[in-house]
Amino acid sequence: MTGKSMVVPRLLDDGSASWVDELEEIPSDALDADTITLTARKLANVVSLSNESIADAPVSELDAVGDALARSVAVAIDSRLFSTAVATAIAPAGLLPSMSAAVGTVSFDSIIAAIGVIEAIGGTASVVFANPADVTTLRLIKTAAGSN
């Protein structure tokens, strides 16, 4: 991206092919497309260290500071994207508004239902993101009569 934004094309449908007789004119049903503007957003954190503390610290301690800084950014991204937050002038919208009602209580059935919601609108669900506590819940499901 050069600058603060860029415009990219987006296909809205595939158009429609038609059966026609040989030597007949082929009707045009071109695909529908538009463009969307992607605007850069910045998520940042600052850690101030003195030159002396950098010079005196072993690499492992400086790595720990860098790792903590990276974790703070990762947590902020996860918190925003895995939420129902709406887009603002400086932050993106969360990904959950369309899925939170479909998922409900986490179970294998609710995950399959959520995948169905995605596929019903033309998407492809190839990954499931789960809270570690929910993964533990799923792992503890016992095989029994009536269990899913």
Long-range own/partner contacts, residues 16-21 (CB < 8 A, 24 or more apart): none
Domain that holds residue 104: 98-148
- What pLDDT is recorded for position 67? 94
pLDDT in tens, 118-136: 888 888 888 888 878 888 8
Tell me the mean pLDDT in the region 84-98: 81
CB-facing half-sphere around the CA of 9: CA atoms within 13 A:
5
Tell me the mean pLDDT in the region 84-111: 75
Q: Which of 34, 42, 36 is nearest to 13 (CA)?
A: 34
Number of domains into which the chain is organized:
1
Q: Any idea how long the chain is?
A: 148
Rounded CA separation 30/32 (Å): 6
Domain presence at residue 31 = no
Domain presence at residue 59 = no
Tell me the mean pLDDT in the region 66-88: 90
Tell me the mean pLDDT in the region 81-85: 86
Domain presence at residue 105 = yes
- What pLDDT is recorded for position 104? 63
Mean pLDDT for all residues in the chain: 85
Domain presence at residue 72 = no
Beta-carbon neighbour count of residue 69 at 10 Å? 14
Domain presence at residue 12 = no
Domain presence at residue 131 = yes
Domain presence at residue 137 = yes
Please, what sign has the CA dihedral across residues 94, 97, 99, 102? positive
Domain presence at residue 27 = no
